[in-house]
Structure 1
């Protein structure tokens, strides 16, 4: 009972961690500051350029900002399409992970038996982990692209820096991955006890050619191999030797004796 209570509180903590991380990932989709570039060569013409998955924005020194969505989806790069897809998939996986966790956790008591609840929680942990990895791929790929363009001396276009949304996304993805990993361990240990708690193997048995014999079962044309333990083997050998000795003695006692007739003595006078 105490162990069940501990597991229940661990599941609650993991669920809260995954939920907070998922909320952070969702917040980055609506944040414009994925990449930021500041041009301050002239004070009056200073402005900030920033963009995200959906639009490009610019703001001047007066605080007025203007954003423009990307004009055509067919004209976008493959990099942007893949990042959009992975970000949306991360949000969807996080939502279904929360639904499965609410059904399978021990504190909700919505599911059926303990085994069924543990397996539902294990599925929720795997879904959360997929959500965290999808988000981590998006933010890491985007950050690596920005870094490579910034340090490239032959890149002549506007160079950007890492925005606040990337750091928020990295933190949210780490929360989701860590929480789902702990939840996956505890729920998997309860869902598949035979696979995780293996019984120690028995020591191997040794047999020789003397302990293996082939016999013909009655009514069967195929030989069948029986394995005779050494103790029974020695007993059967001693018993067979005694029986063979007894048979030899019986045959010796029952063998007829030949009696030779005695001739009468020859008279020396005749």
Structure 2
């Protein structure tokens, strides 16, 4: 019963991390640049994401332009698009596999060892999805920091860390936590073996004519 509760907690935690990764992939705030407005009284903020670039002025007007070509993106955003899509796909696969292996589901009822292996596999897939989120987020942040302190880069080309990067780091931690809980929620093989041997010995002790030395 305790392991089943841990499985539910781990599954919910990992699902929240997967949802955070989806939001981080969708929003355009990967790179933030302060741009000069059309007049002295206006200030514009440029957002660059893996799917679109947006300009938000002080008047609240937001205009976005979807990236038409993948080759026009920087290398870090190209890798981010591929790895974030892979992370989302791995998260969906992990939810399907882990939900089938959880004790509260009816799939493969009675096959405890098989269900435990499904749960562990789902937890490992969640951790792998978190790794796929961590790589592009850290790569993009590293390039932003390197360009910010590079004197050869013009001030207009310098960028700040966007909200999507912090959301991606949080998603990585939550995915890793949920996947670890799922992996640790299944008892070890030795414990299952001892439990089955104990149950078999108790059953045989109730049969007349059997003498079991415990």
TM-score by length of 1: 0.65
Equivalent of residue 20 in structure 2, options 24, 49, 52: 24
- Structure showing greater radius of gyration is 1
Which structure carries more relative contact order (alpha carbon 8 Å, separation 6+)? 2
Cα distance change of structure 1 residues 35 and 74 upon mapping to structure 2, 3 Å threshold: closer
Q: Which ranges of structure 2 fall in alignment gaps of 5 or more residues?
A: 195-214
Equivalent of residue 63 in structure 1, options 57, 60, 64: 60
Q: 1:170 and 2:166 equivalent?
A: no
Q: 1:160 and 2:159 equivalent?
A: yes
Q: Please say if residues 6 and 182 of structure 2, whose CA atoms lie closer than 8 Å, have aligned partners that are also in contact.
A: yes
Of Structure 1 and Structure 2, which has the larger fraction of its residues in helix?
2
Find the counterpart in structure 1 of residue 184 from structure 2: 185
Find the counterpart in structure 2 of residue 123 from structure 1: 121
Count of aligned residue pairs for this structure pair: 189
Following superposition, the deviation at residue 166 of structure 1 comes to 1.1
Find the counterpart in structure 2 of residue 38 from structure 1: 34
Q: Please say if residues 77 and 136 of structure 2, whose CA atoms lie closer than 8 Å, have aligned partners that are also in contact.
A: no
Alignment of 1:75-86 (within 5 A): 75-86=72-83
Q: Secondary structure at the match of 2:33?
A: strand
Q: Secondary structure at the match of 1:66?
A: strand
Q: Which ranges of structure 1 fall in alignment gaps of 5 or more residues?
A: 198-270
Post-superposition CA distance 1:146-191 (Å, at most 9, x none): 111111111115211011111111111100011212322333x53x
Q: What is the root-mean-square deviation of aligned Cα atoms in Å? A: 2.0
Following the alignment from structure 1 to structure 2, what is the Cα–Cα distance between the partners of residues 40 and 75? 23
